[in-house]
Amino acid sequence: MTANRALELLWRDDRRPARGPQRGLTVDRVVRAAIEVAEADGLAALSMRRVAQHLGVGTASLYTYVPGKTELEALMLDVIGADDPLPHERPGDWRAKLEAWARADWAEFRAHPWVLQLVNKSPAPGPNLLRWIDSALRVFDGTGLSEAEKMAAVESVDAYVRGLARQHLDQAEPDPEQDRLLAELVDFTRYPSLLRVLRAGVRPWSGDQFEFGLQRLLDGIAALIDNRSAPPEGHQ
């Protein structure tokens, strides 16, 4: 299966090809070239042929190192962010660490949309991904949360950042002509609450509410942690 081949590549200690290596070529170099292609032209432009052209080698040479595009994408995902600070290494308490991680991912996804596309499609967890998950769970050490609650908190923050970033990516750029036409065609007094929001300068689905949602999510986790640390009722 393709996913299993990707896992074998991700977890193999020695990533040299078994036969016929192209001089100077390595799996790591192929992966870095693929990232450069995606960064320049987007994930849709990524192909084994395009990466080979970028490296100046024949396409057949790449298959000695990586079986196909799906495996290549799994390797790319494991490399992305590998040099960034791990969640538990960031300064401050658990909340400050999560805020820093969430804001860093939010900025990354908006600046490099292809990374978000890759994160949402790659099925194979590699060493760097598991190292990151382990680190994110360590953020909650000493909070009193159960192991299941720690995992749920990590997944909730991750899903929030990814989801809003995906929504922001899918949202079309503001179209003044469309806005003008809507103003002509729609009687917004029929939607008074929405009208008040629009008059306040808020554009729905713009991603501008990222910080508000993040803080409310962390407030909920904080309330759960406080509940875990509070003494039973009637005890001091």
On whether the CB atoms of residues 50 and 43 are closer than 8 A, the answer is no
- What's the whole-number mean pLDDT along residues 164-170? 85
Reported CATH class of domain 6-12+24-80? mainly alpha
Between the CA of residue 20 and those of 9, 23, 64, what are the distances in Å? 17, 9, 7
Question: Which amino acid makes up residue 235?
Answer: H
pLDDT of residue 206: 64
**From 44-48, 102-106, 135-139, 169-173, the region with the lowest mean pLDDT:** 169-173
Per residue in 92-103, pLDDT (tens digit) is 999 999 999 999
Q: Is the pLDDT of residue 23 over 60?
A: no
pLDDT of residue 51: 97
Domain chopping of the chain, boundaries: 6-12+24-80, 87-171+206-229
Domains 6-12+24-80 and 87-171+206-229 share a fold: no
**From 94-98, 180-184, 204-208, the region with the lowest mean pLDDT:** 204-208
CATH 3.40.640.10 fits 87-171+206-229, yes or no: no
**From 55-69, 119-133, 139-153, 168-182, the region with the lowest mean pLDDT:** 168-182
Q: Is the pLDDT of residue 22 over 60?
A: no
Mean pLDDT of the chain: 86
**From 91-105, 183-197, 208-222, the region with the lowest mean pLDDT:** 183-197
In the chain, the percentage of residues whose pLDDT exceeds 70 is 87
